[in-house]
């Protein structure tokens, strides 16, 4: 055999190349047969395959990290816009939103890319509810809605007991994090309160109607399998979450005490990821608050140099297709404009470095400043860990939802 007696000789040897060339009718230049097959085999045997594999791996890593460092240039080229006014920004925002929804998130069903209405495959909500909480200040109802064939949306609706007939109030959607439940945002049990500070309960006591959705990122590999199966179809976990929220908001808007012009979103951790991906795509949300997640997202999911990088976690569903060349968190936040947007971040949150949060938010603030709507973009740092702080964010909600802060026990 041309590659050795047992067919396992060196690849690309002189004899192998010569035989291959002869078969194609190619005459090699003079001197091409100068070295023997055995000499070349000795050269190959002297190399360590482990060293070669390590060099190849390092080259691949260096290439990816180079793409990461330069990715902002690709995003900047796509996100050029006339920011002289909100009116000049909106046509570009709509185009960019369609791009993000189609290329990064993935559209579920047959929703047209030029509008934000429900998918053609969606169904009537067919709401089912039951009373699960009855406190001095509110009643809580567990709700289940149909979204599409084999897809439901669920959550807990908190209605203040001092609601008057025909009174319209704003709604705050309080979103739990990874492996959490809707009840975690309400509960004062130590395990839940450590992260959520019962912020849904607090906001309902302040007079807001509150809805806490149950998002599907629960069950460890069970939900990650959904992500893995969705990706080859051009979809992601958030393809389903967007439609769940769309159906939920449409249903909430039919309730007699809900002001459908004042839906706010407030999410922690994976709920913060939701804050960056769902409200920007759904105009029913009039504002969004991202808690304990905002950062240089493209770097967070790609870096092999920082301890906070997702390469070093068990969350293998995190990478998103071509995100670095489509939109990081600054760009996703821009899609909220001209609606208000706020970030809440703890200095001792291991998942988001203060410097990275400030740097990424600077791009957002510049965007809002150029649109002359600076008062609608806000960042609050606090000296704390991965948790709801509920100070500046509560003031932000009261101000932009036009609900007096004195209206709570």
Could you confirm whether domain 128-400 is CATH 3.40.50.2000?
Answer: no
Give the pLDDT of residue 25: 83
User: Quick one: pLDDT band at residue 334, thresholds 50, 70, 90?
Assistant: very high
145/111: higher pLDDT: 145
Give the pLDDT of residue 11: 66
Q: Given a cut of 70, is residue 309 above it in pLDDT?
A: yes
Residue found under tokens 């988001």: 352
Radius of gyration of the chain (CA): 27
| 3-state SS string for 367-385 | HHHHCCCHHHEEEEEECCC
188 class by beta-carbon count within 10 Å (0-12 exposed, 13-18 middle, 19+ buried): exposed
Give the pLDDT of residue 20: 81
List the chain domain ranges: 1-47, 128-400
Q: Given a cut of 90, is residue 9 above it in pLDDT?
A: no
Mean pLDDT computed over every residue of the chain: 90
pLDDT digits (tens, 9 = 90+) for 28-75: 765 554 455 566 666 666 677 788 889 899 999 999 999 999 999 999
Question: Cα 326 from chain centroid?
Answer: 13
pLDDT digits (tens, 9 = 90+) for 347-389: 999 888 899 999 999 999 999 999 999 999 999 999 999 999 9
Give the pLDDT of residue 114: 47
Question: Contact 120/109 with Cβ under 8 angstroms?
Answer: yes
């Amino acid at each position: 055999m041309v590659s050795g007696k047992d067919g396992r000789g060196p690849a690309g040897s002189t004899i192998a190349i010569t035989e291959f060339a002869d078969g194609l009718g190619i005459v090699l230049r003079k001197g091409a047969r100068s070295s023997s097959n055995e000499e070349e085999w000795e050269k190959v045997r002297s190399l360590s395959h482990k060293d070669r594999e390590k060099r190849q791996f390092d080259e691949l890593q260096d290439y990816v990290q180079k793409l990461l460092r330069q990715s902002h240039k690709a995003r900047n080229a796509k996100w050029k816009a006339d920011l002289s006014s909100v009116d000049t920004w909106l046509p570009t925002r709509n185009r960019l939103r369609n791009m993000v929804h189609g290329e990064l998130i993935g559209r579920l069903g047959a929703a047209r890319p030029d509008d934000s209405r429900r998918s053609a495959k969606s169904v009537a909500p067919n709401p089912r509810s039951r009373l699960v909480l009855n406190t001095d200040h509110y009643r809580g109802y567990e709700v289940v809605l149909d979204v599409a064939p084999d897809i439901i949306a669920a959550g807990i609706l908190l209605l203040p007991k001092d609601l008057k007939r025909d009174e319209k109030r704003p709604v705050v959607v309080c979103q739990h994090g990874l492996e959490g439940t809707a009840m975690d945002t309400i509960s004062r049990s130590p395990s839940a309160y450590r992260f959520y500070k019962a912020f849904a309960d607090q906001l309902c006591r302040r007079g807001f109607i509150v809805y806490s959705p149950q998002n599907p990122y629960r069950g460890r590999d069970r939900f990650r399998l959904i992500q893995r199966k969705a990706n080859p179809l051009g979809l992601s976990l958030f393809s389903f979450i967007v439609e769940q929220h769309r159906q939920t908001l449409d249903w909430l808007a039919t309730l007699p005490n809900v002001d459908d012009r004042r839906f706010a979103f407030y999410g922690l951790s994976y709920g913060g990821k939701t804050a960056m991906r769902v409200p920007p795509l759904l105009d029913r949300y009039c504002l969004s608050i991202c808690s304990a997640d905002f950062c240089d997202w493209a770097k967070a999911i790609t870096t092999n140099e920082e301890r906070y990088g997702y390469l070093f976690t068990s969350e293998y569903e995190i990478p998103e297709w071509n995100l670095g060349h489509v939109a990081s968190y600054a760009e996703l936040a821009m899609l909220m404009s001209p609606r208000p947007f706020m970030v809440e971040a703890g200095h001792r949150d291991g998942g988001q470095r203060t410097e990275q949060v400030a740097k990424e938010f600077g791009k957002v603030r510049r965007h809002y400043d150029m649109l002359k709507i600076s008062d609608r973009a806000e960042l609050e740092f606090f000296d704390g860990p991965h948790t709801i702080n509920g100070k500046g964010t509560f003031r932000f909600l009261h101000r932009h939802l036009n609900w007096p802060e004195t209206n709570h026990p």
